[in-house]
Amino acid sequence: MALLWALGQCGRKDLSSGLKIWSEYMRPLLRLRHYTRFVVTYLSGLLKIHASIINSGNLSKGPRVIYPSQYFLMFDTIFNEATTISKESQKELLEQYPTIKKLAIGDCSTDHELFPEFLRRLDDFLQLPNGPTNYKSEILASLSQCVANNPIACVSHWQQMYRANFYSSSMLLGYLDANWSTIIKSGSLKEVSNLQIIFELLSAFKEYNDSCNSQKDGLTEASKSCKSLLKKVTKDLDGNKGWFPWKLGSIVLLAMIVALVNKDVQRKGSFEKSSTGLFLQDINAYDRAIEYYGLGSSLYLSGKEWTLVKLPIYYEVTKENAGPFMNNVLRKIDSAWVEAGKTIVYYFGEENEYLPEIKRKLTWISNEAAIIGKNLYDGSCGVIDAITAYTMHFSKILLEFLKETYEVIRICIQDIINGKIDLTDVYNGCQKLFQKAVFHSRETYEYAKNYLTTQMK
């Protein structure tokens, strides 16, 4: 004890030397009952003496106080070997761990070898029958820090270790999925390039998971977590592409244009005298605009009239014709259920004469069911015929329109190449194409309206 005390005195002046003495000479004696208290007290006292220097952050500017190899020895001691000492000493030792981690690896953004070492330790831990829970939790937290703060090094090592450390990787994927909202706040993952690297890594993991045998340990958890993480990373990537709300901005812009045109028309007294109308007249598009506006207005009024006037009538007709049919179906089903119940009661009440009665009841129920089935089949056939007729007609019109569109575009391109037409001809051709599209749309609308009217009658 006196020798340990003498060795530890240099730690009062030099924190690095004190930690080295503790890890090399005092740490191996931790589980010896007569030395446990001294070893724990020395470490807590050493960190307390240098607390002001540690909290100031000046140590990060000089040489390292604890190197990763030394840190992992202390890590195993605090989370694994210390489980055999008293609860009081164990608690005091755990309280020193955050400071040791801060001095050794910080936020896991510097050392590239931290991730593979933590992943190997997690793999070894999972092979133990009863390992300490806080050991596993700290390893997963440190691995997530590596992913968040040093993604390039993490991806480089993880893609090489994924197959050999599959079960531990599945647990890490689950931890990342559960804590992604916190991990994504890291400064490194706010860069689109780093987030894209993580996305590509998860995509490669997903492909491997899909090709694995379903009996592999951890495959279900890995596949589920991988798919969930891919959705979250994709959402974050889409969110980083641009902050401007283009959809809302487009709607606001359209509303502003309509308001300006309306204000212009009110100020000049008519659309023809407005600035918009004069501009359309200058480019020889005024008549076309008026024609298309009239057509659109006519379609709108027709649709409005059909919705407000015709649709309620059709609804009432449908209700009047289909309502009794459905009520009849429900009555038949209810009657069949009641008769079946009576038959069961009769069977248990009159066991000597149950066969003829059951046969009669079943015959009646089957006849009623056949009638109901036939009515349902006839109704469904009518609906299918209507849908088929409308679909065939619409497909025919669409096919004709596409053929005409293809022919017009082909001739136009060929004429442009041959120098037979200029931009004015192209403009006129586009107008004709648009007129045909409007004509076919109106024709489809009229056909659907007339067909529905005929069927409802």
Residue 179: CA count within 13 A, CB half-sphere: 18
Residues 142/109, Cβ–Cβ less than 8 Å = no
With a CB cutoff of 8 Å and minimum separation 6, the contacts of 294 are none
Question: Backbone phi, then psi, for 150, in 5-degree steps?
Answer: -140, 60
Residues 5/21, Cβ–Cβ less than 8 Å = no
Residue in this structure with the two tokens 């500017």, named with its chain if needed: 61
Q: Which residue has the higher pLDDT, 310 or 145?
A: 145
On the question of pLDDT at 144 being above 90, the answer is: yes
Average pLDDT over every residue of 340-362: 50
- Report the C-alpha gap between 76 and 325 in whole angstroms: 78
pLDDT at 355: 45
Percentage of the residues of the chain whose pLDDT score is greater than 90:
31
pLDDT at 374: 56
**What is the per-residue pLDDT across 388-409, written as a single tens digit (0 to 9) for each?**
555 555 556 555 656 666 566 6
Average pLDDT over every residue of 377-394: 55
pLDDT at 323: 61
pLDDT at 352: 44
On the question of pLDDT at 73 being above 50, the answer is: yes
pLDDT at 420: 57
Highest mean pLDDT among 55-59, 301-305, 434-438, 440-444: 55-59
On the question of pLDDT at 141 being above 90, the answer is: yes
Predicted confidence band at 54 (pLDDT cuts at 50, 70, 90)?
confident
| pTM of the predicted structure, to 2 decimals | 0.53
On the question of pLDDT at 424 being above 80, the answer is: no
- Burial track 212-229 (b if 16+ CB lie within 10 A, e otherwise): eeeeeebbebbbebbebb
- Report the C-alpha gap between 296 and 43 in whole angstroms: 84
pLDDT at 440: 59
- Report the C-alpha gap between 450 and 242 in whole angstroms: 48
**E-assigned strand segments in 16-73:** none
Three-state SS for 215? coil
Long-range pairs, 405-413, Cβ under 8 A, ≥24: 405/433, 408/432, 408/433
Residue in this structure with the two tokens 């300006």, named with its chain if needed: 260
- Report the C-alpha gap between 213 and 224 in whole angstroms: 15
